[in-house]
Structure 1
Amino acid sequence: MSDTRVHFGDVPVLVCSAEGPTLGKEADALDIIGNASYNGEVRWVAVPAERFDDAFFQLRTRLAGDIVQKFVQYGLGLAVVGDISRHTSQSEALRDFVRECNRGRHTWFVTDLDDLRQRLAS
């Protein structure tokens, strides 16, 4: 399956395939951002949680901050889609990070695409 451009309401979203490469460094985020640009007008990118290297969920590595910042710089929202409970159960700092991101307008951690669709509709 390849990445797909969809509309959730009036919001264009690039839904990334679960089979794509792992996001383990900032350059990997830039590849997705470039793909989003190539796919036309996109305001959000939905990336399956399993595509992220475990280092993303270990805040001390700063990978999450670097990747989130790249999306913000390019004016794209980032939705991490899927169950990350195995990571949040081990880190209070990550739970706090997820909670703060979900209060904002640029990065959300959602359980599935329906959850993202509902958030974008409100």
Structure 2
Amino acid sequence: MADVTQERAGVQVMVCDPAGPPVATVEDALDLIGAAFLGAEVVALPAGRLDEDFFSLGTRFAGEVMQKFVNYRLRLAVVGDISAHLAASSALRALVSESNASGHVWFVPDLEALDARLRAVA
């Protein structure tokens, strides 16, 4: 499956292919943003496509990626199980909690949870 834009809960969402290229650099994130500009409001990115540096906050990679999405006024949903990363880092737990309370970046376990979030903010 390629990345595909679809309507989910009344919102245009670019659902990224789990087997797609990894997001290992800010440029990789910008490529996703560019693709989403073809009509999506939200990018649903499988957690497995994110480089391990994203989950190690000392690298600042997560902050850089998240800031790019905010700057371009696109929402980012990291979709999938990140429990192992959360168990290893209290700072990451705090970031996820704070992000999930905002409207720009969400961490959700699956697309159904994303749909529920989208319906809640509609």
The two structures have a TM-score, normalised by structure 2, of 0.96
**CA shift digits 1:15-61 (9 cap, x unpaired):** 00011111111101001011112xx3211000000000000000000
Match of 2:14 in 1: 14
1: distance between equivalents of 2:21 and 2:40? Answer: 20
Residue 17 of structure 2 aligns to a residue in which SS?
Answer: coil
* 2:105 equivalent to 1:84: no
* Segments of 4+ moved more than 4 angstroms: none
1: distance between equivalents of 2:23 and 2:39? Answer: 22
1: distance between equivalents of 2:9 and 2:99? Answer: 22
Match of 1:32 in 2: 32
Residue 89 of structure 1 aligns to a residue in which SS?
Answer: helix
Residue 12 of structure 1 aligns to a residue in which SS?
Answer: strand
2: distance between equivalents of 1:58 and 1:9? Answer: 32
Residue ranges of structure 1 left out of the alignment (5+ in a row) = none
Give the RMSD, CA atoms, in angstroms: 0.6
**More deviation in 18-27 or 60-69?**
18-27
Percent pairwise identity = 49
- Report 1:1-122 matches (<5 A): 1-37=1-37, 40-122=38-120
2: distance between equivalents of 1:9 and 1:22? Answer: 27
2:91 maps to amino acid: A
**CA shift digits 1:47-83 (9 cap, x unpaired):** 0000000000000000000000000111100000000
1: distance between equivalents of 2:39 and 2:25? Answer: 25
1:68 maps to amino acid: M
Q: How many residues align?
A: 120
1: distance between equivalents of 2:68 and 2:36? Answer: 13
Residue 100 of structure 2 aligns to a residue in which SS?
Answer: helix
Residue ranges of structure 2 left out of the alignment (5+ in a row) = none
